[in-house]
Amino acid sequence: MRDCFKGFYNPKEDSLQEAWRSEETLFVLDTNVLLNLYGYAEQTRDDFFALLESLGDKLWIPYHVGLEYQRRRLEVVRDEKAIFNKINGNLDKIEKIFKGDFESLALQRRFPRLHENTEKLHKDIGKLISSYKKSVTYWDDKQPCVRSHDSIRDKLNEVIEGKVGQPPKDQEWLNNLYKEGKERYENKIPPGYKDFNKSKSENNTFSYNGLKYDRQYGDLILWKQLIEKAKGEDIKNVIFVTDDSKEDWWYILESRGKKQVGPHANLQSEIYREADLDMFHMYNTPAFLESGKEILKLVVHDSSIEDATMFLQSLGRVTRHLESNQLEKELEKKHFNMLRESLKEYDKYEDLKLKYQYGDLGEGEIEKLKRRIKNRNSLAHFFEWEQLKNSDLFFNENDNSEDDDN
């Protein structure tokens, strides 16, 4: 049965170890793996690059991964650099507490001895802050800024030189992919259908080297490029490293919290169908580092694995917060648009009711409008529209009359 439903099976541990050591294995990196390097401690980056170097010619990235890295690199550098400004800003707030809040209490006049203790506390904290700021400055100087030399990119250039895939053939190839992607997303076929919201953003497209790219299909582009590479005669195994944690890449099961069981079954079945592979597997960066340490016997510090794990956890919290805000905005917009239609129906109802009073309207038509307004009762409650909510236009929720027009 395993051969018939290969997409539902993860490779066994001995197969994984064999694949790591095989010259017929291709190691592929996602864009987020490269960009996340800017958020790691220096030791974590060193261990990561050492692992990449040990892979030699088995390392490869799709063209679209390289393109997205180059496009988004400066934004990530800017955001990482901004952290140090926030740290200094928070430290300044502590100083303002003593200069403002404590002084406003007039402790020197009211409680002289307490004022002396407060002054001592201020000086002690000031020394600690001064020492801490030196540490902040040290790490700030080591972090690249948007106009400074980027040693991380230099190292990536060195490690990935000659290991980047081919660009899209032409605009027709991309346009055909977009058509396929639209159908795939409608049917929730991975990867990328969770990126549909990118189509609603202002910067949903971009152009490079004469080609127009639709951002919502970025994952699908790299996936197609990866499959094409995997068709090579000298490739029997593919290990894909991605820090994307969404369900359009992974099979996620709710079991005392969300658990990543393995790659999405549809992804595995597709790449096994399209390419003659013996094995396909996926890692995030912490698992990639840990397996490299155990299987290849490389020096990977435990602190590096922990650092990468904590980084992904913090990134996940931020992502979930942003997704929650986005969902709330979308629901509110949906409710508003539907309520706006309800208002139109209400105005129309009032006009028709007046006509009905003078005998110009059949009772069947006005009853139909009553039912349509009733179906939007919950939306009216959502916006606390008291006039409509309390009017006699709404019926008991147990009224199950049908509306053939809806």
pLDDT for position 323:
54
Q: When comparing pLDDT for 404 and 165, which is higher?
A: 165
pLDDT for position 406:
42
**Whether pLDDT at 401 is above 90:** no
Q: What is the DSSP letter of 36?
A: G
Q: When comparing pLDDT for 56 and 198, which is higher?
A: 56
**Whether pLDDT at 247 is above 80:** yes
pLDDT for position 235:
97
pLDDT average, residue stretch 266-289: 96
pLDDT for position 87:
83
Residue burial 116-154, b: 16+ Cβ < 10 Å; e: rest: eebeeebeeeeeeeeeeeeebeeebeebbeeeeebebbe
pLDDT for position 366:
64
pLDDT for position 85:
79
pLDDT tier at 146 (50, 70, 90 boundaries)? low
pLDDT for position 90:
84
**Whether pLDDT at 34 is above 90:** yes
For the segment 370-387, what is each residue's pLDDT rounded down to a tens digit?
Answer: 666 565 554 544 444 444
Helices 265-274 and 218-230, packing angle to 10 deg: 40
**Whether pLDDT at 403 is above 50:** no
Q: When comparing pLDDT for 108 and 288, which is higher?
A: 288
pLDDT average, residue stretch 387-394: 45
pLDDT for position 128:
85
Of 89-98, 122-131, 290-299, which has the strongest mean pLDDT?
290-299
- For the chain, the average pLDDT equals 83
Of 99-108, 194-203, 242-251, 359-368, which has the strongest mean pLDDT?
242-251
pLDDT for position 365:
66
Among the listed ranges 24-38, 143-157, 235-249, which one has the minimum average pLDDT value?
A: 143-157
Distance of CA 144 to the CA centre of its chain: 23
User: Which residues, in sequence order, are bridge partners of residue 254?
Assistant: 258
pLDDT average, residue stretch 63-82: 91
For the segment 182-230, what is each residue's pLDDT rounded down to a tens digit?
Answer: 999 999 999 999 887 776 677 889 999 999 999 999 999 999 999 999 9
pLDDT average, residue stretch 256-284: 92
User: Which residues, in sequence order, are bridge partners of residue 25?
Assistant: 237
pLDDT for position 353:
62
| CA nearest to 293, candidates 57, 50, 56 | 50
Q: When comparing pLDDT for 404 and 197, which is higher?
A: 197
For the segment 315-346, what is each residue's pLDDT rounded down to a tens digit?
Answer: 766 555 555 555 556 656 665 666 566 656 66
Question: In Å, how far are 53, 230, 283 from 24, measured between CA atoms?
Answer: 17, 10, 18
**Whether pLDDT at 405 is above 70:** no
pLDDT tier at 389 (50, 70, 90 boundaries)? very low
The Cα 14–Cα 2 span in angstroms is: 17
| CA nearest to 278, candidates 3, 1, 60 | 3
